Structure 1
Amino acid sequence: MKPQVWVRHGVLITYGAALDTALHRHHAIQLVWAKGVSSCQWQAGSVSGNIIIDSQVEHKLQLNEGWILLVEPQSELGLRLRQMIAGKEVIQFNHLLEPYSKPNPKRRPNELLAPLLNTLNLTFTVDPQSAPTLDRRIQTLLTKLDRCLQGECQKPANWRASEVASELSMSESRFRHLFRTEMGIAWRPYLRWRRLSCAITAMMSGCSATESAHLTGFADSAHLSRTFRAMFGISIQQAKALFASRSS
């Protein structure tokens, strides 16, 4: 079994094995579809099997083998997952889902995940702009950020809150308030999350950690590595093993 990684608008998808993370938290809602043993530990307890973990819940994850989806909370899929969670931090769902799909280079990950999504009455709609409730100015901003995943990266120096606010014709304080209200997270940590997504894309394309850090606005590879471990619970070296397998 080769580990796999896909980065798409609003979602990061991995398929891996023997995963044992340190304590971490991130902006995304996490969905784990396990083949075999898996467990999640967090402050309120522990649970095993197939799991949905809400945004910003600090947790440790052990996974024998299976799929992990990190979903943008304000996407259509993220909003549906949050409805399923219904205010809880972590929930378990049916661990006997069949058929179970492994990665196949001839098929897209959303096709392979269809049995899971169909069982949960979900659709693979992950673009944050698809959420009908978002303010149009925030939708415009997210569209610009998404260009990074299309190979048009812009360094975070171009994304200072004051500059973004000016471009959107509002004060910085108004922008910060609106963004937090619409997205459920402050601008700065959200931008850090998006920068990490860009760094993953860069490393998947063959860039070193140092090159990826420079391209995405981190001070150096050590800064990128610390941020990566804090958000994903694994090291850059562990992650690059996934990226190498994806490109092989």
Structure 2
Amino acid sequence: MTLPQGVWWRGKAWISPGLGIFLGHAGNHDWHSHMAHQITVSLNGSLTVKSPSSSLTARAICIRAGVSHRIEADEVLSIYLDALSDEARALPDNVGVGITPIEIGDTAALRKLLSSADPSAHQIRQMVRRVLNLTTPPASDPRLQSVLAALKAPINGRQALAIRVHLSPTRFSHWFVEQTGLPLRSYRKWSRLVIALQHIAGGANLTAAAHAAGFADAAHFSRTFRELFGLDPSSALGHVSLKG
């Protein structure tokens, strides 16, 4: 279906391990839930985020991973934090489990950095931490880093991951949810999508990116993209410059 004029997603996006950013005009999308924490800031007033059970209007809103939602906004800065990232663990304790307002710093310096010729991932990450007023995160369970590394390998089933951290498969599933708030299957789906987007940012087409990330084909990738973002990748990326 062709979207009406004026409702395309337009702007720039950056994707790197653990962190994603969108800066621009928010367009049409359906209900969706992605497996990263999202902080969206209105750049021209306020925005409204709706979940199936609530609605919130504020300048900046945190949407926790796994929460089904829709956004009503115009010009926005959206920051996506991987559930296993240091930045996610450093989020304020008063940011709840659904959709909640969040206090942020001035976004001008981050927007200026994103508009520069070639900002580094380190520069962007440091500026994001400043905007979100993040302090040093609490120490993480070292087993999480081991699991995160293993999830990048071709063979990373639940049993192999459980053996890696010396847990039974059943206990591992519970432990992973305790640590991340997400089921392993959901997190793994999100991880594959991020890998595909990194390949697209590097110049690969949808089919090549889908295969490189472990999807069966481009159609499988597109279905997952719609599930996690609420629209198909061609509509999401057609007017968005994606950089890795």
TM-score normalized by the length of structure 2: 0.78
Q: How does 1:102-117 map to 2 (within 5 A)?
A: 102=112, 103-108=115-120, 111=123, 117=129
Aligned residues: 229
CA contact (8 A) 1:26 1:56 kept: yes
- Residues 61 and 144 (structure 1), Cα distance of their counterparts in 2 relative to 1, 3 Å cut: same
Higher share of residues assigned helix: 1
SS at match of 1:207: coil
User: Is 1:246 matched up with 2:242?
Assistant: yes
Q: Please, which of 44, 48, 73 is the counterpart of residue 39 of structure 1?
A: 48
Q: Please, which of 75, 79, 91 is the counterpart of residue 81 of structure 1?
A: 91
Q: Please, which of 207, 221, 225 is the counterpart of residue 210 of structure 1?
A: 207
Q: Gaps spanning 5+ residues in structure 1: where?
A: 149-153
Cα separation, 2, equivalents of 1:191 and 1:241: 26
Alignment correspondent of 1:20? 28
2:211 aligned partner, one-letter code: H
Alignment correspondent of 1:137? 143
CA contact (8 A) 1:17 1:66 kept: yes
Alignment correspondent of 2:68? 58
- The offset of 1:118, in angstroms, is 3.8
Structure 1 runs of 4+ off > 4 angstroms? 93-98, 108-117
Q: What is the root-mean-square deviation of aligned Cα atoms in Å? A: 3.0
Q: Please, which of 74, 79, 104 is the counterpart of residue 69 of structure 1?
A: 79
- The offset of 1:229, in angstroms, is 1.0
SS at match of 1:56: coil
- CA offsets 1:144-203 (integer angstroms, 9 cap, x no match): 44xx5xxxxx44xx1111222234444322322222222222211111111111111111
Cα separation, 2, equivalents of 1:164 and 1:73: 17
1:15 aligned partner, one-letter code: L
Cα separation, 2, equivalents of 1:189 and 1:213: 17
- Residues 216 and 131 (structure 1), Cα distance of their counterparts in 2 relative to 1, 3 Å cut: farther
Alignment correspondent of 1:151? none
Cα separation, 1, equivalents of 2:51 and 2:190: 21
CA contact (8 A) 1:42 1:59 kept: yes
User: Is 1:174 matched up with 2:184?
Assistant: no
- Residues 113 and 47 (structure 1), Cα distance of their counterparts in 2 relative to 1, 3 Å cut: farther
- Residues 93 and 201 (structure 1), Cα distance of their counterparts in 2 relative to 1, 3 Å cut: same
Cα separation, 2, equivalents of 1:82 and 1:95: 11
Cα separation, 1, equivalents of 2:236 and 2:216: 20
